[in-house]
Amino acid sequence: MTLRFGIIGYGGMGGWHKRHIEALEGMEVVAIHDIDPARVEAGKAEGLKSYLHLQDFLSDPDVQVVIIATPNDVHMELAIASAASGKHVVCEKPVALSSAQLDEMIATAQRHNVVFTVHQNRRWDKDFRRVMNALRARLIGEPYIIESRVHGPNGAIHGWRGKKIHGGGMLLDWGVHLIDQILWMIKTPLKSVFCRMRSVVNQEVDDYFRLEMEFVDGLIAHVEVGTMCLEPLPRWHVGGTLGTIRIETFTDEGCLTVLRRAAQYNSGPLVDTGAGPTRTFGKVNGVEVCRSPLEDPKTDSNDFYRNVKAAIEDGAELIVKPEEVRKVMKVMEAGFESNRTGMPVLFSERNLN
């Protein structure tokens, strides 16, 4: 059976969804809705039923699943209207501007018995899967620090992403992906969130943030995004009791460095090294290290759509569950609060897990 999608917001990401879905078996995009007449014309030129008015689009019985790919501030109203019209809903990230908005979206989807999920597509990124697979296989022992960064040189944030009113800024735009990856990989309850945000070259919204999550077992996860960085730090740097993972970019195979046998921690005399006089950071004594690339995780981000189809047609479990998205939203809210107060937000105390 062919599952028929309609897209609300036929801009950059709306077109991306169309291109991906039309390459998949058993799925097709039949309609779009956009408030910009030029985008409606673009849809028509591609042979899609193209609507300028939301109600006309939602009244089209051909559309079974609505993908919402508009600026962030209108996700909630569009998701609620779509679910209330009996359509299944796939919403772009960040799902909403607050967990209260998300709760309304979830409640409406439940009331109308439709599937509701969020396009957290970076769960399928190769760099992330390399780290997740290595941690699951315990290749570096017990992790104590995970650093996940995206640094770029482009400075100013363009378009609606640079406006607060539209839900712009890097914590909402990219933080949502990086936090989602960490929480999907690490199932330990969170202890606290601490965050600092800056507007380096933008007037209105954050173009730099660093957010730290501490888990109850002591693991620290640090996520950081900066748009004004000409010398990027590695995409991932992960430290464990038996080794270290370093991945430079979204596409390289990374480097796994592990101890071949237990370290004999240097207890010899102080030595003069390239690092000056130090025992701690001098040459490692009697320890062999082994460096290797991380295995190709062979991911396919189209599994997101296949899962949506399976959830609608066969009741399969969603890969991106609304309750997981809600926890990410709670972490971002804690990030904004921490930035405002200068204090960490204690997750365990407020029972936010």
Which of 92, 147, 180, 212 lies at the binding interface for ligand NAD (CB under 6 A)? 92
Nearest to 116 by CA among 299, 324, 333, 300: 324
Contacts 24+ apart (CB under 8 A), 13-17: 13/69, 13/92, 14/39, 14/67, 14/69, 16/69, 17/67, 17/69
* 34 belongs to the binding site for ligand NAD (CB under 6 A): yes
CB of 337 within 8 A of CB of 345? yes
* 312 belongs to the binding site for ligand NAD (CB under 6 A): no
Which of 36, 204, 217, 296 lies at the binding interface for ligand NAD (CB under 6 A)? 36
* 93 belongs to the binding site for ligand NAD (CB under 6 A): yes
Residues 6+ apart with CB under 8 A from 300: 124
* 12 belongs to the binding site for ligand NAD (CB under 6 A): yes
| Burial class (CB within 10 angstroms; exposed 0-12, middle 13-18, buried 19+) of 283 | exposed
Which of 13, 170, 183, 211 lies at the binding interface for ligand NAD (CB under 6 A)? 13
Which of 6, 21, 39, 140 lies at the binding interface for ligand NAD (CB under 6 A)? 39
135 vs 331, beta carbon nearer ligand NAD: 331
CA dihedral 142, 147, 148, 154 (to 10 degrees): -170
Work out how close the CB of 8 gets to ligand NAD at its nearest, in angstroms, rounded to a whole number. Answer: 5
Residues 6+ apart with CB under 8 A from 187: none
* 51 belongs to the binding site for ligand NAD (CB under 6 A): no
* 123 belongs to the binding site for ligand NAD (CB under 6 A): no
* 52 belongs to the binding site for ligand NAD (CB under 6 A): no
Q: What 3-state DSSP class applies to 140?
A: coil
27 vs 320, beta carbon nearer ligand NAD: 320
Q: Which residues bind ligand NAD (CB under 6 A)?
A: 8-14, 33-36, 39, 69-72, 74, 92-93, 119, 121, 159-160, 173
